[in-house]
Structure 1
Amino acid sequence: MNYQIELRHLHYFLAVAESLHFRKAAERLFISQPGLSTQIKQLEQALHTQLFVRDKRKVVLTPAGEYLKAEVEYLLNHLELTKKQVQHIGNGELGELRIGFLGSAMQQVIPDLLLLLKKRFPKINTTLDELSNTAQLNAILKDKLDLGFVRLSRVPKGVALAPVFEDTFSLVLPKNHSVTVENFKGMQQFKEEEFILFSAAYSPLYYDTVMSICEDAGYVPRVSHKSVHAQTIFKLVENGLGIAIIPTQLQNGFDMAVKFIELRKIKQRAVLSVIWKLDNRNPVLKQGVDLLLRN
């Protein structure tokens, strides 16, 4: 029998492909396991291709199934995006701009962009999602974000990268630390200190840059703690568990018993960039990019 592929087949396939377990996928979809198995068999017959290898112990995707999983994720995401954009346009709006960002972008770049968008294009809706560099890049590639604000030095082919803000770095020290702005001579003064850094997985470029700041001073820093949140880093510093190096603007908005020394004379800078997918079809992306690059 020749089956036609319907949308439900793709939803059912994706549920099994994600869980690799027919019973769990059936429970998630609120259908019976035999019914789900029938739907998957129909899809395999329609494609003339086996998508899963099944035995009593496990379920695995075939190479064709792996390929289809990525394509179905893209198709269903694009369908959901299209539905939302149509609803926005139907309500008299221009559309929605989905923005990912690192926490430091919220100090100036994101607020400035949102205010400009509200002033110039009041009918563009925006959504914000704070994510790591890697998570933003993956979301951009899968069309789950339109813009990402990251600290990356390179991106894959098909993704645009443009610097939008350059900042200095600052030391974060406990309030009672003996080094002050007045007696600060250089990073060599902190050779014996323990450092608290943003995780390398969260921001590899930041991590490598901070390591290079210390290496230029003649040593490799001893990293005692890592975090993805500035507030956590400041709290650890406040309690005397180490010192930190952050983009200077990140010090704004916190009230803790720490002090900052701006590292103006070092060559390293904290560069924040915007990324977007060149073939993204979101009709409002161009307005957002143009505003950023002009301002």
Structure 2
Amino acid sequence: MSFDLRHLRAFSAVAEELHFGKAAESLHMAQPALTRLIQQLEADVGVVLLDRTTRRVALTEAGKTFLAEIQLAQVHIEQAVTRARHVANGMRGELRIAYTDFAINGRLPQFLNAFANRHPDIRMNLVFMPTTVQQMALLEQKIDIGFMIGSFEHETMDSYQFDEDRYVALLPVAHPLCGEDRLTLAHLANENFVLGNGENWTAFRNRLFALCRARNFFPRIVQEASSSEGIFGLVVAGAGVTVYSSCVSNLQRKGVAIRTLEDVGATLPVTAVWERRNRSPGFQTFRNFLMAVWGQRHQAQDATSIA
């Protein structure tokens, strides 16, 4: 077929006006040029679409069917143009987002909900990944952004500190240390520990071990779990104590006592990391929302809480 959008617009105008002169005027073109476009269209389609005499213009049955179909096509074309523009402007698209347990139990759900409300046409595909796996996935461009523990120092990466929590102790509610007025990490030196396993919790374990070494002990690990829920379950069962992020206060878990560690001034940062060369319009919209809208909102909230 050799006809194009010019022919379809011309036919639609004539079908609406049922008058070549008026249709030509609406299209801002000369009537002979409009007539040629209709003749070319009919020749290419191979049927008569308009029944025209010196007195009237009418659609043939074939013309009525053709008009209905091209109207659908025009709607699809307009949608395609709109969607392409939205993608180019960062209003539509798809993002691959990785998170850790600490991120998803902290402010991340609130942030993602706020972004989704502002940009409903950008789809977010969320996947759990440990910090070290996120770093490899970013290098291999398998994800657009990762919310991980700590920073990722690499020449191709940019980052933004998204959240920051304190270290807390999790104890069975009947544990004797629950009665301590000022619980410290040193108090846990002789306790049995339950921790996340080395496969999924490497980044956190390395930080915790460094804190323990500074207090001249190494955790006596008696049980390991792959997830936060597994860790909580082991604590409730009395298998041991653990150290976790203060984001745990966002969760409801019966049987677990949460205690601040008074001797640990270090914090546990959750950092958003992305590949610097990622020029996807949808990702740029996400990054700008993260650093400008979300960042300013929580800076203001933090300042208010301090005041």
Give the TM bin, normalised by the shorter chain.
Answer: 0.5 to 0.7
Asked whether the equivalents of residues 167 and 269 of structure 1 are also in contact (C-alpha less than 8 Å), the reply is yes
Match in the other structure for 1:241 = 239
Distance 1:88 1:272 in 2: 37
Task: Report Cα offsets for 1:149-189 as digits up to 9, x if no partner.
Answer: 00133333212222111100110101110112543442222
Consecutive unaligned residues of structure 1, counting only runs of 5 or more, are 1-85
Percent of pairs with identical residues: 22
Match in the other structure for 1:211 = 209
Asked if 1:198 corresponds to 2:196, the answer is yes
**Structure 1 residues 254 and 200: CA distance shift in structure 2, 3 A:** same
Match for 1:254: what amino acid?
A: Q
If you compute each CA radius of gyration, which structure gives the higher value, 1 or 2? 2
Match for 1:240: what amino acid?
A: G
Match in the other structure for 1:183 = 181
**Structure 1 residues 87 and 241: CA distance shift in structure 2, 3 A:** farther
Distance 2:149 2:284 in 1: 22
Deviates more, 1:279-288 or 1:269-278: 279-288
Deviation at 1:205, TM superposition (A): 2.9
Distance 1:215 1:277 in 2: 34
Consecutive unaligned residues of structure 2, counting only runs of 5 or more, are 1-79, 296-307
Match for 1:202: what amino acid?
A: N
Distance 1:175 1:103 in 2: 23
Match for 2:205: what amino acid?
A: Y
Asked whether the equivalents of residues 197 and 226 of structure 1 are also in contact (C-alpha less than 8 Å), the reply is yes
**Structure 1 residues 123 and 264: CA distance shift in structure 2, 3 A:** farther
Match of 2:168 among 163, 167, 170: 170
Match for 1:98: what amino acid?
A: R
Task: Report Cα offsets for 1:249-270 as digits up to 9, x if no partner.
Answer: 1243232311110124412211
Match in the other structure for 1:96 = 94
Task: Report Cα offsets for 1:67-121 as digits up to 9, x if no partner.
Answer: xxxxxxxxxxxxxxxxxxx999459661112111012212333222222212332
SS in 1 for 2:203: helix
Asked whether the equivalents of residues 132 and 203 of structure 2 are also in contact (C-alpha less than 8 Å), the reply is no
**Structure 1 residues 167 and 273: CA distance shift in structure 2, 3 A:** same
Asked whether the equivalents of residues 167 and 268 of structure 2 are also in contact (C-alpha less than 8 Å), the reply is yes
**Structure 1 residues 274 and 256: CA distance shift in structure 2, 3 A:** same
Match for 1:104: what amino acid?
A: F
Q: How does 1:258-269 map to 2 (within 5 A)?
A: 258-269=256-267
Aligned residues: 210
Match for 1:212: what amino acid?
A: A
Distance 1:126 1:226 in 2: 31
Distance 1:105 1:181 in 2: 30
SS in 2 for 1:189: helix
Structure 2 length-normalised TM: 0.62
Asked whether the equivalents of residues 169 and 264 of structure 1 are also in contact (C-alpha less than 8 Å), the reply is no
Structure 1 length-normalised TM: 0.65
Asked whether the equivalents of residues 162 and 272 of structure 2 are also in contact (C-alpha less than 8 Å), the reply is yes
**Structure 1 residues 247 and 91: CA distance shift in structure 2, 3 A:** same
Deviates more, 1:144-153 or 1:105-114: 105-114
Match of 1:255 among 241, 246, 253: 253
